[in-house]
Chains A and B, each alone.
Chain A
């Protein structure tokens, strides 16, 4: 005989034994007590197997060297274990018709389907194919020894049979109690159950110390015993059928049959998984929870290891007794069997974070890269203050390849853009550009960017890095809705962009071969070759300084970046990351959509009415803005200044001790030596002086820096 280690003690088992049988063979309960089903229906035999908790020992073959530990007495095991750190193989498969269960009804169903010409795949836990979940799709999740299979199927037939009802009465957590089938399994394995008493619904209580030694019947009779067989009927094993309400699942055999509910339990543990008693249920009932789903949620009866396999018939009987109406079974939730975190995560991927073509350049420059707006972006290059001053006083490069970039062209393009944007588009001259905000139908700010006119019927639109993907759908959806002829090309990932910014930006471009006459003026754009690289230069400013965005094909990004860095070396050029950029733009009072705005921020609330031309006949959001224009609006984004260190973004803003808003952007301005902020006040009247972090902050008009905007036009 081979041996397994059970709670530190080697025990012998015979070929074909499950771990639960091995424990019984050694005279032990596989867990700490409770009726055994030996069919995987209950949680009364779960233990920690080779480090993985919640494993049904009755469904796990004994193997040499396997180590089993019982769960801690009175508490749950930690979810740790070696499997949690192991990648689990996932396979995506397809199947026409899946039958779960290959007992009598399952075999018959499979045969009938095959006779009709269906391609049938049969799963059964006995074959190592443990179906743990059914999802809308439909998909069937199958756990196997070598991984998790996700079956994408067309039809599902469940032939999962029926589970034996377990007793609920005082003493039902003692060892030595079996369902009839469990007893048969044990006896067939040659395990001596000793003196056995078979009980039905006439049982009142089990007595014993740790293990049953006496049965008490309702008529008062007491019978001594070594083991009890509780023959209480069956209930459908149909949790998989209740998991995906949108999936048409055919249930056949005993799983589909009506089974009478057991008599209502009067006392005892009704839910062995959670040790929830009849008294607990009564307490929930008395608090007013009357629907089965609510009783389940309030008591947690049915959310444990067995997912209602044991408690469901008794719980339904309880509710039927109290309400007079027999309730339907509650919803099933994946997983039907405990899975490890690794199994649950198999095949799941975190979001994709893209890399700009300059990723390696940033790494070589020692950038601290962060995930922002779906991209890896330089947060800083080690000295954000030096990066700041390079922009304010010299020249700096910023990688803005992540900006949304969209070409639109077509006979209806002007009409489409006039409808999409709240500002005028028709009067933008070729070679000129305009800052724009995007609104939704409610008049709330979705995004912002630039419109650059390339020709009579051709424009380049830019969007924020985080808003680019949504913007494409937004444009396409509306153009299609309106039936307008507009071609759309999102070239966000095929074009890089480098922002050359600072008072020496023009000088750097001169050194890169751009004649002064070829340099676009503020809010102009032009196609020019820079350091040998064809670029589309856009003149704008987010930093507050003269800025030239050099848009180009991404295969030339590295060449362009390196050339500019080399040419800029005598000018003291430094690249800047997002940390400096966010401070620079904050000094200019530029909002970052999504950081400084909220989901319902209108242009008025963020002081950008000027970007909306209500004299236009129509545009997205116009109706909502017109309807709300004269309503009092307590929400307003303000600029603030305060002494001392800049508070954390998200800090609470108070007036007279009351919370009125929060800080959205915060920066210790190297230029001014104090903090500059943006933040919300959401209560009228708006105060001129507020309290942040227990310190005084004063409302200050924005921009904080270069109020005339002269530096951006240098």
Chain B
């Protein structure tokens, strides 16, 4: 398994409608963690949604690793007790090898594995 490297991005908490309508920068990757929560990767500047109370802040708390489709399948078989969504692209969240993590599943079967930096060593050890 590849090592999880710290990721740089933006965390944006806002009304779901405002996030739905936000003009995300071209080339950026929007990870919709929940209806009111976005982790924006690959943007030099954050998008500020139309919500005066939105929380927009740099996010350095995640580490990530790109997984091939085979690596996703292997991880799911041996380390994920829950069923991955059949429809892709999708965001899957839950414990992987007992560590809270997220899988940004791409249409081609590959994925971006996200884990809190604080837990990445633990996850890497368990997936090794």
Partners in one complex: yes
- B54 contact from A350, A357, A409, A553, Cβ within 8 A: A409
Q: Is the interface of B mostly helix, strand, loop or mixed?
A: mixed
Given contacts A349-B126, A554-B60, contact A355 B53 (CB under 8 A): no
Given contacts A152-B83, A555-B6, A555-B60, contact A487 B36 (CB under 8 A): yes
A354 within 8 A of B: yes
In angstroms, Cα B11 to Cα A572, docked, is: 39
Chain B residues with CB under 8 A of A349: 97-99, 126
Q: What distance in Å separates the Cβ of B99 from its nearest Cβ neighbour in chain A?
A: 5
A9 within 8 A of B: no
B17 within 8 A of A: no
A276 within 8 A of B: no
A474 within 8 A of B: no
Chain A residues with CB under 8 A of B81: 92, 150, 152, 347
Q: Please tell me if the beta carbons of B83 and A94 are within 8 angstroms of each other in the complex.
A: yes
Q: Please tell me if the beta carbons of B60 and A494 are within 8 angstroms of each other in the complex.
A: yes
* Chain A 388-415 interface 0/1 with B at a Cβ cutoff of 8 Å (1 = within): 0000000000000000000101110100
Count contacts on B: residues with CB < 8 A to the other chain: 35
* Chain B 86-105 interface 0/1 with A at a Cβ cutoff of 8 Å (1 = within): 00000000000111100000
Q: What distance in Å separates the Cβ of B8 from its nearest Cβ neighbour in chain A?
A: 7
Which of A352, A407, A457, A485 has most B Cβ within 10 Å?
A: A352
Q: Please tell me if the beta carbons of A409 and B118 are within 8 angstroms of each other in the complex.
A: no
A222 within 8 A of B: no
Which of A347, A348, A411, A489 has most B Cβ within 10 Å?
A: A489
Size bracket, chain A contacts: 35 or more
Chain B residues with CB under 8 A of A118: none
Given contacts A347-B81, A487-B54, A487-B55, contact A493 B61 (CB under 8 A): yes
A430 within 8 A of B: no
* Chain A 476-504 interface 0/1 with B at a Cβ cutoff of 8 Å (1 = within): 00000000010111010111000000000
A666 within 8 A of B: no
B20 within 8 A of A: no
Excluding A347-B81, A352-B99, 19 further A-B contacts by CB distance (< 8 Å) are A92-B77, A93-B77, A152-B82, A152-B83, A349-B98, A349-B99, A351-B98, A355-B121, A410-B53, A458-B53, A458-B55, A487-B14, A487-B54, A491-B61, A494-B11, A494-B59, A494-B62, A553-B60, A555-B60
Q: Can you list 25 A-B pairs with a CB-CB distance of less than 8 A? A: A91-B78, A92-B77, A92-B78, A349-B98, A350-B98, A352-B119, A352-B122, A353-B122, A354-B118, A354-B122, A355-B122, A359-B121, A407-B55, A409-B53, A409-B54, A487-B53, A487-B55, A488-B13, A489-B11, A493-B117, A493-B118, A493-B119, A494-B11, A495-B61, A554-B60
